[in-house]
Structure 1
Amino acid sequence: IAGVGVGSALMFAPLYSAEIASASHRGFLTSLPELCISLGILLGYVSNYCFGKLALKLGWRLMLGIAAIPSVILAFGILKMPESPRWLVMQGRLEDAKKIMVLISNTEEEAEERFRDILAAAELEEDRAVGSDVWRELVINPRPAVRLILIAAVGIHFFEHATGIEAVVLYSPKIFQKAGVTSKDKLLLATVGVGLTKAVFIVIATFLLDKVGRRKLLLTSTGGMVFASTSLAIGLTMVHRFGRLLWALKLNIVSAYTFVAFFSIGLGPITWVYSSEIFPLRLRAQGASIGVAVNRIMNATVSMSFLSIMKTITMGGVFFMFAGIAVVAWWFFFFMLPETKGLPLEEIEKLFGGGDARGAREGLEIQAKRVNNKI
């Protein structure tokens, strides 16, 4: 049940945020779900630290049961959320879409402009979709631009977890044990530090996404993760071979926090922002669902295989492997992911070869004339 709820939220939250946000603030708003996830993890660490001092029979039940409180708040909060105007347009509910667009825009002029762009894009999508099934158009026989978009979305979701963040977040107590931290209280506090680092740097990322751009942050983030994974692997290998070396123990702790910081300032939030904004309107929900499915599969794969791989090639060897995967990820992002900062959702497809800028604009203008009759 938790898996269904979490899986749904992971798809809907960034998708909904991207669809209601203006182009100038889309990065900030679409990264908020990732920020709130990190705050939730941090609160989980803190509450576990507090409940860990209780008797075992009571403590673990409270650790699990307290999650019901934010779940209830969320359930009631969703009832107050307006529907996505883009979805309403796809359903032909133009008046409802226009009212909501006014609510989520700074001015009526901005609302009118965004509304016309959505209508024009919806008209184009309808023309393309004659006799076509969404899944066929997305997976079986996609246009070249859609194929590149799908590869980009699947790739960024794959590398988010294949580079090892789950190993650091879930198994940080074991990493810190290897680093020489043995006290139960100190291990829990060190784990709280991981959650705090993650939350702080995602906050920083939310303010940088619309100023610096997705691409620069992503490449910087992945490059930093290569460095942090390598230094963590070296430190863990030295401790494994030569025992408690003070410099190696310090290097392990600093590297673990550095890895989380670099992940959180780029790859973590950008994965959800980017995959939510690049798909065409008609394919956005299904495309986002494929990305989330890959994300959850990789999350589970890394989580469940980490201990087995560690026993085979040592913990240091695992992080050398993650560093190598991060190098591949950097090159993938460099060649496959163009910058989307500041572009309306309806114009992003052309970055992947879905028509040049002039052709896209002319197409929108033609469709806008047809849309005027509907309005």
Structure 2
Amino acid sequence: MDPTKRRSPYTLLVAAFATALLTAGGLVAASQTADAAAPARAEAAPAADLPSHALVGYVHASFANGSGYIPLADVPDSWDVIDLAFAEPTSPTSGQIDFSLCPTSECPNVESADAFKAAVKAKQAEGKKVLVSIGGANGKVQLTTTAARDAFVASVSKIIDTYGLDGVDIDFENDSLSLDPGDNDFRAPTTPAIVNLISALKTLKSTYGSGFTLTMAPETFFVQLGHQFYGAGASGTQDPRSGAYLPVIYALRDDLTLLTVQDYNSGPIMGLDNQYHSMGGADFPIAMTDMLLTGFPVAGDTSRVFPALRPDQVAIGLPASVNAGGGYIDSSAVTSTLDCLTKGTSCGSYTPHGTWPDLRGLMAWSVNWDVFGDNTFADTFDAYFG
């Protein structure tokens, strides 16, 4: 695998979109928009002491690639939430999650474990949150048994305690989440891997209390695609991963600090206007974020509406540079996206269903790629939000 694409093998994912969008009856279009059923807002959840507008970024902590290794102490001050990428399982179904710093053979400038722990404390003293991100493109995690669930809780707790972290980021990709046949209601999931993940995250939240920071960074395939397709569908011919994050987000909506959907490495997605939106400009993140802040019927069923998240729970996920992944948009398009969603201006061809000045901010893959690209992404955020 090209190391610059470690975050997400998007060529495979785009192919998966093509599979998901085809059913036995051909291309299926949802006939209802979210306007048909206005969902209730999520209940208030602790904001985990984040600034009103936050910049979230992944640091390549356990591996090296073409962007270079950055010691945690050297992460620029712009980044408010730092996700350590990645903690990975010992095997897909073990539930045992391990995290270690990049080996010196790959990262000659890697700091010692003690220096890393000291950097965590220093960042926290500056008001930053430092999380361990679990999964990534290579870290397949399937908690198919209660034993795996318990191992997940124990091993993740050990990582948090060892490094003094603020919480976890769930970045399950590829085959980590998939819906079993007949599991067709996101409000009451029955698939063991999903039920056990929900239980594990609730246990971690209750263990560490209200200050525990919980974020998730799913791909659009697992969230917004659920507006059109959910699981294998009645025909059993759809990709069972379609919309598979929705029950996890829904069950944890009161505990969730941030949802940072990856608006990149994606195939076309149908928005609330029943039109397909593709990467490459402001239209895509505007339409995808509008879905999260407005809510949407799942698989076009207006009796099963995924409820809107609060704007302070949402940050827009984008590549930091052209090197970081498919779907890069330049600084002017990032600014237009923010203008549209927070002010109702510069919206282009897509009109969102509201304006949300309390939108939390932006997420980037990654800090390393942004530093490699002269900090353009962070500078854009800083210039916009001051």
Q: What TM-score does the superposition give when structure 2 sets the normalisation length? A: 0.23
Between structures 1 and 2, the one with greater helix share: 1
- Larger relative contact order (Cα-Cα within 8 Å, sequence gap ≥ 6): 1
Greater radius of gyration (CA): 1
Higher strand proportion, which one? 2
